[in-house]
Structure 1
Amino acid sequence: MSAFLRPADADEPPLTLPPDQSAYRPVSSHLAIAPPVSVVIPAMNEAENLPYVFKTLPDWIHEVVLVDGNSTDDTVRVARELWPGVTVVPQRGRGKGDALISGFAACTGEIIVMVDADGSADGAEIVSYVSALVSGADFAKGSRFANGGGTDDMTAVRKLGNRVLTAVVNAKFGARYTDLCYGYNAFWRHCLDEIALDCAGFEVETLMNIRVVKAGLRVQEIPSHEYNRIHGVSNLRAVRDGLRVLKVILRERGTRKNRPVRPAMITGEAR
């Protein structure tokens, strides 16, 4: 498995890659990465937010895959101006899950990172997700409630609902999550064969979190800070979406036997 080149001491000269390691992409003067990283961004009418999203993305990313949900604004044009090599995938179905599945299928990188298009995620955190993966995790799961994480966006009702649903998943599936309904995650592409996503809606994030545990994949939570949406109005509805998430939990509880779970690698404790 490919991995990071470790940072050199501060008093050492900048890292120089030998010719046979030209595939390594520099992260800094003392750090490089071999696995190509694909970032998937599902977007519908997010032209105003994309400049903020793309501004935070590291330049060492292998590719950006934007899944356009039939936008009526300049989402696609803006994306191409900001990242000339962006891969644009027209979404044929509806829903966030459908968009992500379409985006994952278009990725060519070994590592896939999920990033929302509303400006709430900081792309600079991607290096933490990738570090967890190349250090042995299969799935790096963002958490707003692990030590070091936070949120500016969640209402008290949504926090309570997330906490209850997280507790249910932990109890039913033997997980140790501190945050269930968060869309900033990263994983090795081969994990898709293990979790076989078949969910079109917002609840896809919960489905992924459940199935990685049921598949016995190694999970590491990454403290992440969620910012407010910059422009536009969120489509999230606490009660409606909470019920959809609960239905997924109940459905998954009755399907597939859990595989032996590998030791989870959780960073920090719940806040």
Structure 2
Amino acid sequence: MLLSVLIPAYNEINSIDTLLEKIQAVPINKEIIIVDDGSTDGTRERLKTFDAVPNIRVIFHDHNQGKGAAIRTAIQHMTGDIAIVQDADLEYEPQDYMALVKPIADGKEKVVYGSRFLNPENRHSYYSFYIGGQVVTLLTNALFNQRLTDEPTCYKVFDADFLRSIPLECTRFEFCPEVTAKVAKRGIRIKELPISYYPRSIAEGKKISWLDGIEAIWVLLKYRVMK
């Protein structure tokens, strides 16, 4: 089994080295697909130095297109059996990969999400982000007959062939609601497992905003009525 780690990266010079060290330390057969989405802070130049690492592949967007566009590019280049989305910051713990991929590797699930809310030891980000995430999750459950606790989580894990079969259109943070809606419309009940979470502040580089929450609601409603 080969795990494809899909990393959209934009201006993450302060975290990219540590993140890659953490991922490489996970005892699982993996390829790391990094898409630099037009970084301007030195991330782009730093990533060019990883060309010689056998299991790392870096793709460069000429200009910033958004997280969703970077993930779509990464999907085009992955060769693994299972795929996981990994943000380029340090909010999530790569050691959680082992538990998250197991239900898919065992053939029991097609999709697994890592839930920050199933781990009572986690602290959470800004209150507005917490409330926004809960609203998006509740709406997802109501519209798509799911039982999720954390729809906007970064750690979304897929059978790779299944992920390739989903026609994604996202460019920005709407990747999460779009892929969730399209998975649910295939009749799949998404499995959740607890993960660790270490939220960072806006000053530390957090990029999502309340406007992305509004967009997520719109995307969920749109794909509920679209065939």
Q: TM-score, normalised to structure 2's length?
A: 0.88
Q: 1:82 to 1:128 in 2, by over 3 A?
A: farther
Per-residue CA shift, 1:190-223, capped at 9, x if unaligned? Answer: 1124431111110111111121111123521121
- Structure 1 position 150, deviation (Å): 5.5
Task: Work out the CA distance in 1 between the residues paired with 2:34 and 2:96.
Answer: 19
Which ranges of structure 1 fall in alignment gaps of 5 or more residues?
Answer: 1-34, 257-271
Q: Quote the residue 2:30 is aligned against.
A: 62
Give me the whole-angstrom Cα distance separating, in 2, the residues matched to 1:96 and 1:104: 12
Q: Which stretch has the larger CA shift, 228-237 or 198-207? A: 228-237
Correspondences of 1:230-249 after superposition (within 5 Å): 232-238=204-210, 240-249=211-220
Farther off after superposition, 226-235 or 113-122: 226-235
Q: Report deviation, 1:134.
A: 1.5
Worse-superposed segment, 88-97 or 104-113: 88-97
How far 1:55 sits from its partner (Å)?
2.2
The amino acid of 1:36's aligned partner reads L
Counterpart for residue 113 of structure 2: 141
Displacement of 1:166 after TM fit? 1.1
Rounded to whole Å, the distance in 2 between the matches of 1:172 and 1:208 is 14
Aligned to 1:251: 222
1:51-86 Cα deviation digits (max 9, x unpaired): 221222115332101100112233245344498231
Q: Give the Å deviation of 1:232.
A: 3.3
Structure 2: gaps spanning 5 or more residues: none
Alignment partner of 2:72 out of 89, 98, 101: 101
1:63-102 map, 5 Å: 63-79=31-47, 80-81=49-50, 84-85=53-54, 86-92=56-62, 94-102=65-73
* Correspondence 1:38-187 to 2 at 5 A: 38-57=4-23, 58-79=26-47, 80-81=49-50, 84-85=53-54, 86-92=56-62, 94-135=65-106, 136-146=108-118, 148=119, 151-187=122-158
- What value does the CA root-mean-square deviation take over the aligned residues? 2.1
1:198 pairs with 2:169:
yes
CA distance in 2 between partners of 1:81 and 1:195 (Å): 30
Secondary structure of the corresponding residue to residue 221 of structure 2? helix
SS of 1:195's equivalent? coil
Paired positions, count: 220
Q: Could you say which structure has the higher helix fraction?
A: 2
CA distance in 2, matches of 1:87, 1:125: 22
Q: Secondary structure at the match of 1:142?
A: strand
The residue number in structure 1 matching 2:179 is 208
Residue of structure 2 in register with 1:189 after alignment: 160
Distance 2:176 2:10 in 1: 18
User: 2 CA distance for matches of 1:149 and 1:215?
Assistant: 31
**Distance in 1, Cα, partners of 2:104 & 2:7:** 20
Q: Is the 1:66–1:88 contact (alpha carbons within 8 Å) kept by the matching residues of 2?
A: yes
CA distance in 1, matches of 2:125, 2:51: 29
Distance 1:194 1:150, change over 3 A: farther
